[in-house]
């Protein structure tokens, strides 16, 4: 399971029980430096929601009682995903959250998936640290185009990663990002771009990953 490999497990996390007070939760947040932590039930197995430092301070600034239970300011109670959920569902649930709670097969709190872990995984999948160039190739989204573009590129070099943007139903064009293997020569790059454009696939951008620059033109 892909999600399971990315999750920070419960035993490594700072959490609070639902019986602690807002003051106790604030003390924990101040000590750890976290902006929010998960709230669990007294057994430590059921996820109740999150408590945010900013919400406690706002409550305090308005003269609120810090001896109230932490659940008084509980947030994100329904923001969870099962550990066996399809990966794409993470993107529809995590949104602006610093993390999303992950539940095991018994709906018990298993851990959290953070934005950082998610972005690191995408970075690795795209091979931005080891690839040579990223070609942004424009296509119309017709059947067989991705295979054809891949075949053109693969005749010269290996494809280290591929990502398609603008894949909406009514999109007129699609941007296809191909990460090329390390050590691609300028001659190979020229041949790839030439053949792609001869087959009506416009290369709109070339990113040099090692120099971290966008090429205005292919080096001679």
pLDDT tens-digit profile of 158-193? Answer: 998 888 887 666 667 889 999 999 989 999 999 999
Domain 2-120 adopts which CATH fold? CBS-domain (3.10.580)
Alpha-carbon distance of 118 to 187, in angstroms, equals 35
CATH classification for the domain delimited by 127-215, as one of 3.30.70.260, 3.40.190.10, 3.90.1150.10, 3.40.50.280: 3.30.70.260
Mean pLDDT across 19-23 = 97
CA distances to 38, 67, 123, 145, 196 from 137, rounded to whole Å, are 43, 59, 19, 11, 8
From CA 67, how far away is CA 155, in angstroms rounded? 68
Q: Where are the domains of the chain?
A: 2-120, 127-215
Q: What is the mean pLDDT of residues 109-128?
A: 80
Q: Shortest CA distance to 92 belongs to which of 75, 76, 108, 80?
A: 80
Please tell me whether the overall predicted TM-score, pTM, comes out greater than 0.85 for this model.
no
- Give the burial string for 173-182 (b: 16+ CB within 10 Å, else e): ebbbbbbbbe
- How far apart CA 202 and CA 75 sit, in angstroms, is 47
């Amino acid at each position: 399971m892909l999600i399971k490999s990315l999750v920070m497990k419960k035993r490594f996390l700072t959490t609070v029980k639902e019986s602690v007070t807002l003051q106790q939760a604030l003390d924990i947040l101040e000590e750890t430096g976290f902006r929010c932590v998960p709230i669990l039930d007294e057994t430590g197995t059921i996820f109740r929601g999150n408590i945010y430092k900013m919400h406690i301070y706002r409550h305090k600034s308005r003269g609120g009682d810090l001896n109230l239970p932490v659940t008084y300011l509980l947030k994100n109670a329904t923001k969870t995903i099962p550990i066996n959920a399809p990966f794409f569902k993470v993107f529809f649930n995590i949104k602006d959250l610093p993390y999303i709670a992950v539940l095991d097969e018994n709906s018990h709190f298993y851990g959290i998936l953070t934005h950082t872990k998610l972005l690191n995984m995408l970075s690795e999948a795209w091979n931005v640290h080891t690839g040579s160039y990223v070609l942004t190739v424009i296509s119309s989204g017709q059947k067989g185009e991705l295979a054809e573009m891949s075949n053109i590129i693969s005749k010269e070099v290996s494809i280290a990663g591929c990502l398609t943007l603008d894949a909406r139903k009514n999109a007129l064009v699609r941007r296809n990002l191909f990460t090329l293997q390390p050590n691609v020569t300028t001659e190979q790059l020229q041949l790839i771009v030439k053949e792609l454009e001869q087959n009506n696939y416009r290369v709109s951008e070339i990113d040099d990953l090692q120099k971290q620059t966008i090429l205005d033109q292919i080096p001679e």
